[in-house]
Structure 1
Amino acid sequence: MSKEGASGGEEQQTKQVKDLEDKLKQYERDLEDASNELKIKDELCQKSEECIKEKDRLIRKLMEKLETKEAEMRETKTTHAEYFSKAMSDKDSQIAQLIKRIMLLEEKLKKQIEEAKEKLEEEQRICREKIEEANKTCA
């Protein structure tokens, strides 16, 4: 029985060695899987960092464009305000000239009316004198 006991012990040891070898292979596979997963995560992280850098670059570029547009808008607003101010000044000047012209025409018209009244009164006086003479001649 000692041969059987020794051979049973060897079988048990062989089984234990095989189990340990299987566990070692499983650990090696797990380690390789973990290493591959780590590589994938590292690549994803690198891509994410590159993506973030690219987005930062695009944001900076958009900010520059925005600042340029804002400067253009301020310049346009200033130019428009200056143009509008000049246009209003020109219009005010034109209105003042028109008012002056109207006042001169009004004064001229008043003189013409006064002259016409005086002429009419003179003609009426002459007519009255002629009527009075005619009445005296007829009477």
Structure 2
Amino acid sequence: MSKEGASGGEEQQTKQVKDLEDKLKQYERDLEDASNELKIKDELCQKSEECIKEKDRLIRKLMEKLETKEAEMRETKTTHAEYFSKAMSDKDSQIAQLIKRIMLLEEKLMKQKKKAKEKLEEEQRICREKIEEANKTCAQRNKETQRDMEEQLQIVRQESSQALALKGM
């Protein structure tokens, strides 16, 4: 009976060791899955940053176009002002109206430019905050996942060591 009891105990210990090895393999697969998920999240963060950079580039391009239009408007205003001073005819009132219209358009353009600049600055601020938040979240998740995996791996190692120690007895 002692042989059968020892044989049954060894089988049970062997089963426990196999179960622990299976758990260890599962934890390693889970760790690899978590690592792959972190890589995907890092790629998403990079794509978000690229998107923001592209938006910034487009906004700067629009700002350049606005500045070009503003320069054209100033040139038109100057041209019309010179024409007004030379004309001195029945068309003086029409020219004055055109100049007034140009001035109003220029004022409107300046307001639009200011508004666009404020909007750009606000979008840039929001984007920077979102990037910082995403980076913090990613870093925190990385740390938590790493810590969890290390704890689980440590538990499995301890259980494996205990099982091996029991098997050795």
Normalised by the length of structure 1, the TM-score is 0.58
Quote the residue 2:151 is aligned against. Answer: none
Most deviating of 124-133 and 25-34: 124-133
Change (3 A) 1:39 1:115: closer
**Which blocks of at least 5 consecutive residues in structure 2 are unaligned?**
139-169
Deviation of the 1:62 alpha carbon: 1.4
Identical positions, percent:
97
Deviation of the 1:125 alpha carbon: 103
More contact order relative to length (CA 8 Å, sep ≥ 6): 2
Cα distance in structure 2, aligned partners of 1:116 and 1:105: 16
Cα distance in structure 2, aligned partners of 1:29 and 1:115: 53
**Which blocks of at least 5 consecutive residues in structure 1 are unaligned?**
none
Change (3 A) 1:100 1:14: closer
Quote the residue 1:92 is aligned against. Answer: 92
Deviation of the 1:23 alpha carbon: 0.8
Cα distance in structure 2, aligned partners of 1:102 and 1:58: 27
Deviations 1:4-55 (A, max 9, x none): 2211211211111111111111111111111111111122222222222222
Deviation of the 1:87 alpha carbon: 2.5
For 1:66, what is the secondary structure of its paired residue?
helix
Aligned residues: 138
Most deviating of 114-123 and 95-104: 114-123
Deviation of the 1:85 alpha carbon: 3.7
Change (3 A) 1:63 1:7: same
Normalised by the length of structure 2, the TM-score is 0.49
> Which structure has the bigger radius of gyration?
1
Cα distance in structure 2, aligned partners of 1:19 and 1:137: 35
